[in-house]
Structure formats: C-alpha cells, structure tokens
Amino acid sequence: MCERPLTGSYSTGRNHKYGYYHCANGSCRSRSIPRQKLESEFLKLIEQLQPKAEYLNLFREIVLDVWKERRKETTKLISTLENRVSELKAKRQKLIEAFVYQHSIEKSVYQEQLELLENEIALVQLDAYDAKLEELDIEATLNYATDAPQCVEVLDSMFCGPKAELSASVISRRLSVRR
C-alpha cells in the first residue's frame, strides 16, 4: 500500500453486495482490497498492539501511585490558596474599615487599593478553582483506559457497514495485504 487514504464502495454480485477498499493511486499494488480482508487484518493488528494484562496492571499501579502523590500536592496547594484568599479578604475588610469608620485614608487611595485587592482575590480564587478541576475520578479513567478487549470489540462493531474513507497510512505500515 502507498499510505494514501482509501475509499470504500460496494459491488453488486448476483446474490450479494461485496465491499472493497480502493486506492486512487494508479501505481499502487493494492488498488482494490476486499473489505473483509482489510478489516480482519486491521483487527489482527489492533489485537497484536494491545498490551498484556500484566503490563496494564503495572501501568495502573504506577499511575495510581503518581496520582496519589500529585493529589497530596494539589490538596496542599488548594489549602494554601484558600488561606491566601482568607488573608486577602481580611485585608479588604481592614481597608473598608479604615475608609468607612476611621476616615484614615482618602477615597482615591481606598478605591485603588480595593481594586488591587479584589483583583488579587479573583486571581487566587481562579488558581484554587483550577487546582480543584484537576481532581478527577482516576479510578474510572483507568478502568476505561485499560479495558483492552473493549477496543477490539468497538472496532469490530464499526466494521459492520460501508466505509466512505479509511486512512491507509496507519494500516499500511504494519500490514501487508496481498490479493
């Protein structure tokens, strides 16, 4: 195969329709490949590329260990950021009291300092929000990612209908499809 995209079509025989993938490149050795042959070779390739169960289990353990360490760091960061927000809000309250009750600062200074504090509070709250977003359900993610048999089953079910186009570049490097 020449690594160009393939197109799909059906030919009608006496009793059935037969699916084929075609290469538009005139000099390609594999100009017309029966659908079932190409798709079964592709599924074999996917099965070969699937990691073994012991590797998946090791991968899972490593990811969970790293995740737990990062989660500890994230929890500390969130706590630090929340403390910083509390400190800034306390400063803001003192500023308001100095302006409203004690009349110890001018209005322009008050407005300038209040705006600076409000901006800093908003930025720190955004950082805390971003840190909280990183907390996801890693177990569910790993379960989905390491469910290797699911991959072949999904692909196998995809190969039920006609394909308008299939990229041969992925397949051609690994498969040698002969007529």
Residue 44 CB partners (closer than 8 Å, separation 6+): none
Q: How confident is the model at residue 99 (pLDDT cuts 50, 70, 90)?
A: very high
Range from 4-8, 135-139, 158-162 that averages highest in pLDDT? 4-8
C-alpha neighbours within 13 Å on the C-beta side of residue 156: 11
pLDDT of residue 160: 52
What share of the chain has pLDDT > 70, as a percent?
A: 79
pLDDT of residue 177: 45
52's torsion region: left (phi>0), alpha (psi -120 to 50) or beta?
Answer: beta
Q: Tokens representing 176? A: 């040698």
Q: Check if the beta carbon of residue 1 is closer than 8 Å to that of residue 29.
A: yes
Q: Tokens representing 58? A: 């090791």
pLDDT tens-digit map of 24-37: 887 877 778 899 99
Task: Determine the number of helices (DSSP H) and then strands (DSSP E) in the chain.
Answer: 6, 4
Question: Per-residue pLDDT averaged across 63-68, rounded?
Answer: 90
pTM for the complete prediction? 0.48
Question: Per-residue pLDDT averaged across 61-78, rounded?
Answer: 90
Pick the more confident residue, 160 or 146.
146
Residue 25 CB partners (closer than 8 Å, separation 6+): 2, 4, 31
